[in-house]
Structure 1
């Protein structure tokens, strides 16, 4: 069965849009004909473990709070076209995402894809702090993933996640989402579903 790897970060808005487009593409191609695996990339690899105030972070990154809001509005408009609701007004923290990536890897298998959707929705639509262990455990529990709280209490898979993230950077990947088919990166970005269908068919 062909394998699609999605290199993504849980706080990347275009990754949520890209997932929605991928889901639509797979409906066309036949969802059961592909294995989808989510792989870790940190937009902010130097983020403090506890995260930072989002407004301050965005102002520092983009030069002003107003510029950050302009970019948020652009993302929200693109998300709405894909049927997604971005509620930046509810988002107060920019989290470190290593724990979220650990949880995604912990859920490897049939529940992983739905967990990724739940994490995107929790952060972008509900404003939850997905760097917080208790928040992540509750999201996992709601998805029927058992043992998440105990897993997150330790540091299992931490080194593996950081090493994989660093490995993607060494390969030259600097933007997400990036999509690979059977180990070959085909494209980066949240391109429309119809184009994803064409790219996956051509890469098969």
Structure 2
């Protein structure tokens, strides 16, 4: 009989820099608990649910969201500093467009069905934050699908599959009071918001492990 896994649901958006930092910190937490069997499920949250399908010019987006270049520069410089400490060299200057992420989330859903969701999410983060690619573009998503070994991605993305699931999950998160990401949920019960430290995330895994033992 197989042992049950610690279930970790992660609400995120692949254009959220703190979600990328949260992933790196969670990987460090897993390295601290190498004997834990962990099953991750990535769930949809859109930072910009009203983003046009074609996305938005990056500078216009920053001016609109942060009220000017100076405020945006200060905000992202703090994120860049945090990223360096976690092994991420953010290339914000390469980003030309802030995309609509519905199709990126749809690709993540397809990847979940093929047990490749972790790989696809990390590739989405890398493509956007390290290479400045527009992950709202179909060609970029198909390249990620090819790189991670997904099958049927072109047919899937050309259909409406997953679209309603993405919108429903996003709206459901908001109805539950979620206002930002990343957000970690352990065994669908214990909630830990934010890109917490590896030690805190390791303690989260301990809670999940203890719960499984109590239920065994």
TM-score range, shorter chain: over 0.9
> Equivalent residue for 2:95?
91
> Equivalent residue for 2:166?
161
Indicate conservation of the 8 Å contact 1:178/1:185, yes or no: no
Indicate conservation of the 8 Å contact 2:6/2:36, yes or no: no
Residues 81-90 or 27-36, more deviating: 27-36
Q: Which runs of 5+ in 1 are unaligned?
A: none
Write the distance in 2 (CA, Å) between the matches of 1:87 and 1:36: 27
Q: CA deviation at 1:32?
A: 5.7
Write the distance in 1 (CA, Å) between the matches of 2:190 and 2:107: 24
Q: CA deviation at 1:147?
A: 1.4
> Equivalent residue for 1:180?
185
Q: CA deviation at 1:155?
A: 1.4
Task: Kindly provide the CA deviation profile for residues 77-134 of structure 1, in whole angstroms up to 9, marking residues without a partner as x.
Answer: 1001000110011001000000000000100053110111100000001000001111
Stretches (4+) displaced over 3 A: none
Task: Kindly provide the CA deviation profile for residues 17-36 of structure 1, in whole angstroms up to 9, marking residues without a partner as x.
Answer: 00001111111222760101
> Equivalent residue for 1:122?
127
Quick check: 1:139 aligned with 2:150?
Answer: no
Q: CA deviation at 1:67?
A: 1.2
Indicate conservation of the 8 Å contact 1:134/1:149, yes or no: no
> Equivalent residue for 2:29?
25
Write the distance in 2 (CA, Å) between the matches of 1:115 and 1:85: 19
Q: How many residues align?
A: 204
Write the distance in 1 (CA, Å) between the matches of 2:165 and 2:122: 22
Please tell me whether Structure 1 or Structure 2 has the larger radius of gyration of its CA atoms.
2
Coordinate RMSD, CA, aligned = 1.2
Q: Which runs of 5+ in 2 are unaligned?
A: 212-216
> Equivalent residue for 1:74?
78
Write the distance in 1 (CA, Å) between the matches of 2:37 and 2:186: 13
> Equivalent residue for 2:214?
none
